[in-house]
Amino acid sequence: MDQDITPDVSYQLDRVVEILRGVHSVLFITGAGISADSGLPTYRGIGGLYNDADTPEGIPIEVALSGQMMNANPGLTWKYIHQIASVCRGRTYNRAHEVLALAEERLPRAWVLTQNVDGFHRRAGSKNVIDIHGDVHDILCTRCEYTKTVQDLGELAPKPLCPECEGQIRPDVVLFGEILPLHKVAIMDQERATGFDAVFSIGTTSVFPYIAGPVVEAQRKGVPTIEINPSETAVSEVVDIKIPLGSAVACDEIWKRLD
């Protein structure tokens, strides 16, 4: 999509800057779009392999990457975890992640609620991160308490086993069909109850209720809501300000104007 900043978009960016100058707390909700500028694929866009198609095994990718499949056939699930990891290898955070980390330093209170499992927010410097779906670099044993952080999943065997008990190893992420980690939900609920002066939705289609919910709740309370996304999403008609740009371009422009 054209990333040119039209006069109308420029006006909306200035509105966002004025909001940020007057707030003390902000919630940034992020999805795959914020990492797209790092070269990571968005959902069902992993090199185009899974767009409107099943896997070679004849099942949807959501089934292959489900908790049920990890239990029944971990080798198959790991096949696609490794495949995705190979596409993402060598990528790192981008300017959008950096700006959110800088915002945390500037504001008295700022949190990131992300669906992404790439770990880029923390690598960029954000500390208040609720990675609600986990981090793919963190692995754990399903039998004992063994855990480890692995920067490159390519280091692992096709169907890795625990070096301590030979139990099944899996990434510490929420696979399809699994529930959200309760301790992270508790943090999210606590911060939402405390409230924010502004809520941003960045690079997410907002299809999950726990992702769209904070935006809708803020709008109902009269709290400014901003969406950064070149596409229309489930919250586009709800937010106060819509910035139809990629995450890195929009966040960089906002930060330059804020300074």
Which of 2-11, 43-52, 64-73, 178-187 is least confident? 43-52
183 is catalytic: no
With bands split at pLDDT 50, 70 and 90, how would you rate the model's confidence at 93? Answer: very high
Domain annotation covers residue 107: yes
Domain annotation covers residue 100: yes
pLDDT on residue 46 = 43
Which of 12-21, 36-45, 101-110, 146-155 is least confident? 36-45
Domain annotation covers residue 1: no
- The CB-based long-range contact list for 6-9 (8 Å cut-off, 24+ gap) reads 9/243, 9/244, 9/245
- Percent above pLDDT 90 for the chain: 84
| Cα distances (angstroms) measured from residue 178 to each of 8, 65, 173, 175 | 42, 11, 9, 6
Largest CA distance in the chain: 62
- Do 192 and 247 have their domain in common? yes
36-59 pLDDT, tens digit per residue, is: 999 887 654 444 445 556 788 999
Give the global pTM: 0.93
- Do 30 and 48 have their domain in common? no
pLDDT on residue 49 = 47
- Do 193 and 122 have their domain in common? yes
150-177 pLDDT, tens digit per residue, is: 989 988 999 999 999 999 999 999 999 9
Domain annotation covers residue 161: yes
Domain boundary among 173, 189, 221: 173
For residue 225, pLDDT beyond 90: yes
CA distance 15 to 23: 13
Burial (CB < 10 A; 0-12, 13-18, 19+), residue 231, is exposed
Average pLDDT over residues 203-231: 96
- Do 67 and 142 have their domain in common? yes
- Do 59 and 127 have their domain in common? no
- Do 47 and 80 have their domain in common? yes
Average pLDDT over residues 182-207: 97
Average pLDDT over residues 187-211: 96
Hey, is 123 helix, strand or coil? Answer: helix
Q: Are 224 and 240 in contact (CB under 8 A)?
A: yes
- Do 187 and 120 have their domain in common? yes
Mean pLDDT (the chain) is: 92
Nearest to 228 by CA among 8, 6, 11, 12: 12
- Do 251 and 222 have their domain in common? yes
128-139 pLDDT, tens digit per residue, is: 999 999 999 999
With bands split at pLDDT 50, 70 and 90, how would you rate the model's confidence at 85? Answer: confident
Q: Which two tokens stand for residue 244?
A: 């139809």
- Whichever domain contains 123, its CATH number is 3.40.50.1220
Number of domains observed in the structure of the chain: 2
- Do 163 and 82 have their domain in common? yes
For residue 34, pLDDT beyond 50: yes
Residue 14: give the domain boundaries.
7-38+93-133+178-258
For residue 145, pLDDT beyond 70: yes
Q: Which two tokens stand for residue 90?
A: 């060598």
pLDDT on residue 88 = 79
Catalytic residue selected from 97, 121, 133, 137: 133
CA distance 224 to 239: 8
Q: Assign residue 94 a region (left: φ > 0; alpha: ψ between -120 and 50; beta: otherwise).
A: beta
For residue 194, pLDDT beyond 90: yes
